[in-house]
Structure 1
Amino acid sequence: MSAETTPEQEPRAPRFAFLRSATVVAVGMAIMNVAAYGFTLICVHRLVPEQFGAITALLGLLLIGNVASLGLQATGARQLATHTGTGAETLADAMLKAGRRAALGLTIVCLLATPLFVWLLHIDSVVAILLLAPTLGCLTLMGSQLGVLQGSQRWTELAAVYTSVGVGRLLLGGGALLIHPSLNAAMIGLALGAAVPALLGGFLLRGSHGGTSPQVKEVLRETVHGTHTLLAFFAIANADVLFARALLDGRHSGYYAAGVIVAKACLFLPQFVIVIVFPSLASSPGDTVRLRRAILAVAGLGACTVIGALLLPDLVLAVIGGKEDYAPLGPYTWLFAISGSAYAVLQLVVYAAIAQQEKRAALVIWIGLAVFAIGAGIVLGTGIATGMAGVQVLVAMTSTCAVVLSVVLAAGLHRQTTGGS
């Protein structure tokens, strides 16, 4: 009997190991996202709509600038997942050194770009915009650490760093707002909170050594390609917030910023699927079955959020706003759920393109962003749609853009796989 049951049990072990890993990472990322979401809710309750629109625009810049961190993480995870033979420790150290160099460079660039941000976002507080630089520097350093942990499949430690991201933002960023409800206080708290995961990651990876200069350069070279693709994705995923700030009046851009809370929740909810599946997509780039299953999982989670927002709009509004100021947004929260879910699928497809080293993905996304910008400029900039109608049109345009790009990129990956086979 034992000889018959063992073959049945053996295939279950990898599945159980995968489920355990997925659960650990999902819990860590859930804590991160809920805590970050909590910070955003504190912003909604403590800031007036105009200030909330400003902090949301700054958070959009952080998400765009954070692509360097995500590029380092993707590079580290891909290289370690595909690494064979000895030398994994020196490769990991090279990734950490590359992260330190990238963090310093990005901090300097962000400081130099401060006047541009002041002009672009119509934000009077120079201090708030200056604090973007150290915040991005810490997040970039953290990205290299996450890449080493993810590529080495150290899921528990990876989850711990993810948890510290949200906890640092909630306790320090939210605490600063509770003490003094202002834009400057929010950004001070964000900068302090971003230092927490970088310090934890440095502690977990202490003692790493042996990375050579050629290895560091190779990591940075690949990071540039991955970051370019992710930059295109996060630029288009956050462009709607910037368009709303620039093309809608202050009150309706505040409404849109509140709706984006729903969209971002739907975008980040299934992110653990990407984290877990990415190393296997990198080591087995032709595994289209795994990619399809991952897309179905992400889309399924998105469908649940859309249904929930459609059936319970008042509850969603109470969670994201809790003020009568945002009451006009209530009937349209489900539109933002569709937008966020569509971008979650697009994000998965983008990471699959990075895993397969598909260089054309960035160009496709940049073209999509250009079309999106032109369309938003025509419809909103000329006054064809204004007020709440402008809010509805803009969120519908974001959803359409994400769906079209997902189909185009997925078709390109399928052609690449079948062509290579």
Structure 2
Amino acid sequence: MAPRLAFLRSATIVAVGMAIMNVAAYGFTLIGTHRLAREQFGAITALLGLLLIGNVASLGLQATGARRLATHSGDGDSAADLADAMLKAGRRAALGLTVVCLIATPLLMWLLHIDSVVSILLLAPTLGFLTLMGSQLGVLQGSQRWTELAAVYTAVGVGRLVFGGGALFLHPSLDWAMIGLALGAAVPALLGGFLLRGSAGASAAQVKEVLRETVHGTHTLLAFFAIANADVLFARALLDGTDSGYYAAGVIVAKACLFLPQFVIVIVFPSLASSPGDTVRLRRAIQAVAGLGVCAVIGTLILPDLVVTIIGGKEKYAPLGPYTWLFAIAGSAYAVLQLVVYAAIAQQEKRAALLIWVGLVVLAIAAGVVLGTDIATGLTGVKVLVAMTSACALLLSAGLAAGLHRQATD
């Protein structure tokens, strides 16, 4: 009974912190829907999608740190040395990603049809701060310092809402939105640095080992976040400005359902890493994530008008109302896939990334054929695209879970 109560207490602390993070972060997105024109909101949504994809380096560092500290047996390197190695690896990765993003500015402007150099340039420091934060979260998660972990998560959302939302109220434009996002991303990184101040002792070899393992985890997470955010880019490229704006608004519902059960992943990941092959624990976690998804879908079916009012207002997005439940299904399907992906990382299953990349290629071809040739246009195209993403996520979840089960059995 005592371990279960401790688990529930930890889960509650992390859930509250992540709930504040998600609500505050989505507060920024909702401000964007109301303050920006549909075309500009489509652009900021595409940039947010790129931030989510680029953020895989942060998540890879977090997963590596949590796994290494959770499986640390006390032999060899000390936990303090492992923690310091994580933080140093985070600083190196943040610097490298910032430089790469700056170099890629012209390419990103061309791909996303965004003329503002300032907006694209600001992606670099934003991703740099988020990457640095990832290493800090990994140390806190692996050390099971749940209260401090929740505090950093809270700072993520509060920073985005206060600085990003405040910037949009001062001046509703794409450039100001990105200025606010960059400033907001600095808040959790500064807090994490304060909580983990004084760390020292890691050798260069330890840092390299952390970076090497991070590459594998990041590759898998990159595949996941690429496929989880590719639909926004497909909508931007294959639908007209108005319909891509509708799709961007619907994605708010999908992302809410994706991140709603994220606390389950954070809490269960260290135990999945320390007990690889624990299919019972994984199955229960999948049931919890799926259960939250069912509740979200039912809510959108019962209160579609309220959902539309929240995500952007009935005047601008009323035609989207009858289809919000489709986005809830898509987000919930990707939430299940995300859990299975983390289970694969915990078990050091490196074939998971290949399967996800294959799924992305299939989804891209299907979207190109159906939307690019005008087989489905307008709101029909919006519905078809979200349905294809849902089906892809569910099929990949089933395939990865089956592979993990076979690996555990072997």
Tell me the TM-score normalized by structure 1: 0.97
Aligned equivalents of 1:378, 1:175: Cα separation in 2: 41
- Which residue in the other structure is 2:334 paired with? 343
- 1:365-408 per-residue CA deviation (whole Å, 9 max, x = no partner) reads 00000000000000000010000000000000000000000000
Preserved contact between residue 305 and residue 314 of structure 2 (Cα < 8 Å):
no
Confirm whether residue 284 of structure 1 aligns to residue 301 of structure 2.
no
- Which residue in the other structure is 1:392 paired with? 383
Aligned equivalents of 1:85, 1:175: Cα separation in 2: 47
- Which residue in the other structure is 2:167 paired with? 176
- Which residue in the other structure is 1:104 paired with? 95
- Which residue in the other structure is 2:41 paired with? 52
Confirm whether residue 263 of structure 1 aligns to residue 254 of structure 2.
yes
Confirm whether residue 131 of structure 1 aligns to residue 127 of structure 2.
no
Residue 322 of structure 1 and its aligned partner are, at CA, apart by 1.2
Structure 2 counterpart SS, 1:181: coil
In structure 1, runs of 5+ residues without a counterpart are 1-11
Preserved contact between residue 173 and residue 190 of structure 1 (Cα < 8 Å):
yes
Aligned amino acid, residue 73 of structure 2: T
Preserved contact between residue 233 and residue 365 of structure 1 (Cα < 8 Å):
yes
Structure 1 counterpart SS, 2:201: coil
Correspondences of 1:223-234 after superposition (within 5 Å): 223-234=214-225
Residue 99 of structure 1 and its aligned partner are, at CA, apart by 0.1
2:206 to 212, 215, 225: 215
1:83 to 72, 95, 99: 72
Aligned amino acid, residue 72 of structure 2: H
Residue 323 of structure 1 and its aligned partner are, at CA, apart by 4.3
Aligned amino acid, residue 395 of structure 2: V
Aligned amino acid, residue 346 of structure 1: L
Aligned equivalents of 2:145, 2:277: Cα separation in 1: 25
Residue 85 of structure 1 and its aligned partner are, at CA, apart by 1.0
2:9 to 20, 31, 36: 20
Residue 325 of structure 1 and its aligned partner are, at CA, apart by 1.7
Structure 1 counterpart SS, 2:4: helix
Confirm whether residue 411 of structure 1 aligns to residue 402 of structure 2.
yes
Preserved contact between residue 317 and residue 327 of structure 1 (Cα < 8 Å):
yes
- Which segments of structure 1 move beyond 3 Å, counting only runs of 4 or more? none
1:92 to 83, 90, 94: 83
Confirm whether residue 368 of structure 1 aligns to residue 359 of structure 2.
yes
- 1:102-148 per-residue CA deviation (whole Å, 9 max, x = no partner) reads 00000000000001110000011110010000000000000000000
- Which residue in the other structure is 2:306 paired with? 315
Residue 311 of structure 1 and its aligned partner are, at CA, apart by 1.2
Preserved contact between residue 45 and residue 323 of structure 1 (Cα < 8 Å):
no
- 1:325-367 per-residue CA deviation (whole Å, 9 max, x = no partner) reads 2111111000000000000000000000000000000000000
Aligned equivalents of 1:50, 1:341: Cα separation in 2: 27
Q: CA RMSD in A?
A: 0.5
Structure 2 counterpart SS, 1:335: helix
Aligned equivalents of 2:405, 2:314: Cα separation in 1: 47
- Which residue in the other structure is 2:106 paired with? 115
1:187 to 178, 193, 198: 178
Structure 1 counterpart SS, 2:372: coil
Aligned equivalents of 1:127, 1:183: Cα separation in 2: 9
Residue identity (%): 85
Preserved contact between residue 277 and residue 404 of structure 2 (Cα < 8 Å):
no
Tell me the TM-score normalized by structure 2: 0.99
Structure 2 counterpart SS, 1:208: coil
Aligned amino acid, residue 168 of structure 2: L
- Which residue in the other structure is 1:62 paired with? 51
The number of equivalent residue pairs is: 408
1:333 to 312, 320, 324: 324
- Which residue in the other structure is 1:8 paired with? none
- Which residue in the other structure is 1:6 paired with? none
- 1:36-57 per-residue CA deviation (whole Å, 9 max, x = no partner) reads 0100000000001000000000
